[in-house]
Structure 1
Amino acid sequence: MNGASRRSGAEVRSGVEVRCGRDRAVGVVLTDRQEEDGVVRFAVELRAPGLTARLAEVVDLGPGGGLVGFLAGAAADFRGWEGERSWRNADGDLALRAAFRSGGHVGLSWVLRPWRAADGAWRAEATTWLEAGEQLAALAAEVEAFLKGEGGDGRG
């Protein structure tokens, strides 16, 4: 089940949280949205047992409508597809792979790789499982609202 939710408040940073339907300890948080001169930057946090990784100042410039376009396209194909779909932002520090599995579930593998580190010091990956149609479409809508800076509760 998609635990995507928008959080707000003075101590809680606004963002979108994606929880894995198979293991609630695995999740991804998009948070700390900033906009300057029309460029939106945000942080991505991966969490899993034994793993916590954060990449600040990710810029959502990539092919096919960016992150939202990738998620919305996968949601539109809720009946499934063969193989794996992939997307990455222009900087290559955020990548996402989507794999459709029987039973109508999609595995989203979120990959963080800081390009600003000249030696490529680390790479982190976590996979969240969501239902292909409604949950994936809701996630795409929440990410779009987050990137546009729109308020509201957004709990799904």
Structure 2
Amino acid sequence: MKSLDTTDAPAVVIRCIDSDTVVRLCDRWRLDADSIHYAVEASAPGLSARVDEAVSAVWERAPDLPAFLTGLAEDFRGWSGERSWHSLERDLTITAEFRSGGHVGLTWTLRPWPAKHGGWSTAVTTWQEAGEQMTALAADVDAFLHEAPGIDG
């Protein structure tokens, strides 16, 4: 049984700079010392979706979302093609694309129970300014995932 600690109600809210699209990381909890579980909510005009249990590992070689976002921020001058990251069970995938004008498009794909047939998926894109806004996002996500009460980061 999960121990849901919402006393400090930590969350990261990612707002698109040019639309009403919002992604929210929230409701984090721990099942064991090796992982952090959290919900991901996506909303846009006419859309509201939630994945209740994305999982991030805290061991050294696990795919790390803050490191992915930090890498995007460090490349604020741009890159070609797409870069992507996914949670351990692939219920959250983020694809990043750089556009002229110094903007990064983050496409957040939510796919609960990706291994089961008949499931659903949805995606929203948030546009962020490269550099400082991406650096702040990476720091906020790092704090959300690694500075939770009782979590050594």
Task: Indicate the percent of aligned positions where both proteins have the same amino acid.
Answer: 50
Distance 1:112 1:15, change over 3 A: same
Q: Which residue number corresponds to residue 92 of structure 1?
A: 90
- Matches of 2:29 and 2:138, distance apart in 1: 19
Please state how far the C-alpha of 1:118 moved relative to its aligned partner. 1.8
Work out whether 1:20 is the aligned partner of 2:11.
no
Does the residue aligned with 1:122 lie in a helix, a strand or coil?
Answer: coil
CA contact (8 A) 1:64 1:70 kept: no
Match of 2:103 among 85, 102, 105: 105
Q: How many residues align?
A: 141
Flag as ranges the 4+ runs of structure 1 deviating above 6 A.
none
CA contact (8 A) 1:30 1:43 kept: yes
| Aligned partner letter, 1:135 | Q
The Cα offsets for residues 106-146 of structure 1, whole Å up to 9 and x where unpaired, read as 00000011126721421010000000100001000000000
CA contact (8 A) 1:33 1:149 kept: no
- Matches of 2:32 and 2:57, distance apart in 1: 14
- Matches of 2:97 and 2:132, distance apart in 1: 16
- Matches of 1:71 and 1:36, distance apart in 2: 25
> Structure 1: which 5+ residue stretches go unaligned?
1-8, 152-156
Q: Which residue number corresponds to residue 76 of structure 1?
A: 74
Bigger RCO (CA 8 Å, 6+ sep) = 1
Work out whether 1:33 is the aligned partner of 2:31.
no
Q: Which residue number corresponds to residue 129 of structure 2?
A: 131
Q: Which residue number corresponds to residue 3 of structure 2?
A: none
- Matches of 1:111 and 1:50, distance apart in 2: 16
> Structure 2: which 5+ residue stretches go unaligned?
1-5
- Matches of 1:120 and 1:47, distance apart in 2: 22
Distance 1:41 1:142, change over 3 A: same
User: Normalised by the size of structure 1, how large is the TM-score?
Assistant: 0.83
| Aligned partner letter, 1:122 | W
The Cα offsets for residues 22-69 of structure 1, whole Å up to 9 and x where unpaired, read as 11x201000001123212100000000011000011102497741111
Does the residue aligned with 1:141 lie in a helix, a strand or coil?
Answer: helix
| Aligned partner letter, 2:145 | L
| Aligned partner letter, 2:47 | L
Q: Which residue number corresponds to residue 148 of structure 1?
A: 146
Distance 1:77 1:56, change over 3 A: same
Please state how far the C-alpha of 1:76 moved relative to its aligned partner. 0.6
Match of 1:50 among 42, 46, 50: 46
CA contact (8 A) 1:16 1:29 kept: yes
